[in-house]
Amino acid sequence: MEKYYITTPIYYANSKPHIGHAYTTIVADILARYYRLKLGQENVWFLTGTDEHGSKIAQVAEKEGKDPQTFVDDVSALFQLSWKNLNISNNDYIRTTEKRHEDVVTEILTKLKSAKTPLGNDFIYSGDYEGLYCVGCESYKKPEDLVDDKCPDHNKEPELLKESNWYIRLSDYAEILKNKIQNDEIKVLPADRKTEVLSFIEQGLEDVAISRQQVKWGIPVPFDKDQTIYVWVDALLNYISALGYPNDEKFKKFWPANTQLLAKDILKFHAIIWPAMLIAAGIEAPKELFIHGYFTIDGKKMSKTIGNVIDPNDLVSEFGVDAARYLIVSQFPFGQDGDVKADEFKVKYNSDLANGIGNLVSRVITMAEKYCDNKIPALKYTGTFNLTALWKRVEQNYVDYKIFENLREIQELISWADNHIAETTPWAKAKEGKAAEVNQILYNLIEVLKQLAGLLLPILPQTGAEILKRINFASTDIESIKTLNNLDSKKTLDKGEPLFLRK
Ligand code: ME8
């Protein structure tokens, strides 16, 4: 792999970001930072943004007495500010109300109008439809999708809509999509999501309306200006409009995406409508879709009515940037559903960060100050913890999206170092005058701090960089961090302030 392009969904600009949006975005940031260390800055592109058209947004804007553009300008600014507060390193931020996006959507729709399906039919055709539309989902629902006549995701009765629309002939794509997903040409991960999509396709695909007569807040259909383009068709195209499709060098270099992250709520749009549109337009489909879990807060669905919505900015104010990132991604394995327990943030902060990383760094440097004249001994690593094997596991975990497992690897390294200190008691050895042994123990521990810093760089970027500074290791090049025994014995250490104050 020479380049890496990763995307998050573009979030609805209907209200400020919550911890669910932050979860996907932080994981994308961790992966982007990891691949930058591996492939070089210039070979990684990380995109996020906001989805700003459609009836859902227009309705909220109206309720707030704002025109839709002003409304989405304000909400999108809140998203961008939150990502800045969380130290998210996105290379670009796409808004679907930007001209660069609208131009590409218009161009692709025009192209699709003359496209043929694999069975030789027109990809786009006009027809009438009567159905139940859920504004929350921005999609039609079948009666069997409803519980007590309501959309189970939004707890609202859908509206009956009857419109003449433009359709895309998805039904002609069942075979080709099934094959591409089956043979991992489009890799859908984890495996149970692949099975879910395949069994959905096997039931046969229905055509989808891609235009709306009654929605004014959208991009006009280029060949029928009385209608606007269905918000999902508009939104999905962000992944290529932001790269400057079709002529920009960025598009040529980075498309197809290596990783598109999303949660299960929007799987079908990404695994079916999106690749079908791309295939019809003669554009390559994305390489991998990773569908992570959906979480509840204290056992309940996040909702404004319940009042359990967590604002990631509040976590940053309470715990700091790196800690907020850590607390959000360390709740449960990535890819599984889970429950976030608000009370546990503090417990985890104290155990993993203050007593874990922070305490280890401070103990090691304090001992080096006392027993080694605050210098790095001129020795080689002899510790029993196999650091090379650790990196192998960590790198494979990144390929497999095992972010949670990597947090665990980090905690295991810290436990090893804590135990090593307890077992070897350098303070007692110093008293007994065993200077050579003490030097060796401290060399091993400082090497562990260097490796720990490297492991932290993608996840807790400020902490990783700070540890390297404190052990006076000048490079942030991952290969040199991984290389054992390259600490400079002429350098001194800097204890500094506690990395994480206990709460
Ligand atoms: O669906 N747990 O936007 P959206 C985990 N605009 N992840 C969560 C979550 C939770 N409880 N809540 C939200 C849209 N997410 C469309 C996308 S893309 C072309 C258009 C995350 O604001 C997760 O990534 O509803 C989910 O897929 C996304 O936010 C939905 O964001």
User: What digits encode the pLDDT tens for the residues 474-490?
Assistant: 999 999 999 999 999 98
How many angstroms separate the CA atoms of 385 and 444, rounded?
A: 10
Contacts of 25 (CB under 8 A, 6+ apart): 8, 48, 83, 86, 88, 90
**Pair 295, 333: CB distance under 8 Å:** no
Where are the chain's structural domains? 4-120+173-203+229-301, 342-482
The residue whose CA is least distant from atom 30 of ligand 1 is 11
Nearest CA to ligand 1 atom 3: 11
Neighbouring residues of 436: CB distance < 8 A, sequence distance ≥ 6: none
pLDDT for residue 1 is more than 70: no
* 235 CA from centroid of ligand 1 (Å): 13
User: Which CATH superfamily hosts domain 342-482?
Assistant: Isoleucyl-tRNA Synthetase; Domain 1 (1.10.730.10)
| C-alpha of 360 from chain center | 29
Tokens of 186: 């489009």
| Residue 298: partners with Cβ closer than 8 Å, 6 or more residues away | 308, 339, 340, 341, 342
232 CA to centre of ligand 1 in angstroms: 13
CA of 294 to the centre of ligand 1 (A): 9
Instruction: Compute the residue count for the chain.
Output: 503
CA of residue 222 relative to chain centroid, distance: 33
Residue with CA at minimum distance from ligand 1 atom 9: 20
Give this prediction's pTM. Answer: 0.96
pLDDT digits (tens, 9 = 90+) for 194-253: 999 999 999 999 999 999 988 999 999 999 999 999 999 999 999 999 999 999 999 999
Residue bearing the CA closest to ligand 1, atom 5: 294
Over residues 244-280, the pLDDT tens digits come to 999 999 999 999 999 999 999 999 999 999 999 999 9
Give the separation between CA 427 and CA 290, rounded to whole angstroms: 49
Q: What is the 21 CA–ligand 1 centroid distance (Å)? A: 6
Query: Is residue 384 predicted with pLDDT exceeding 70?
Result: yes
Instruction: Mean pLDDT check: name the lowest of 117-121, 276-280, 354-358, 488-492.
Output: 488-492
Domain 4-120+173-203+229-301 listed as CATH 3.30.300.30: no
> Which protein residues are within 6 Å of ligand 1, measured from CB?
9-12, 20-21, 23-24, 51, 235-236, 238, 262-263, 265-266, 294-295, 302
Equal CATH topology for 4-120+173-203+229-301 and 342-482: no
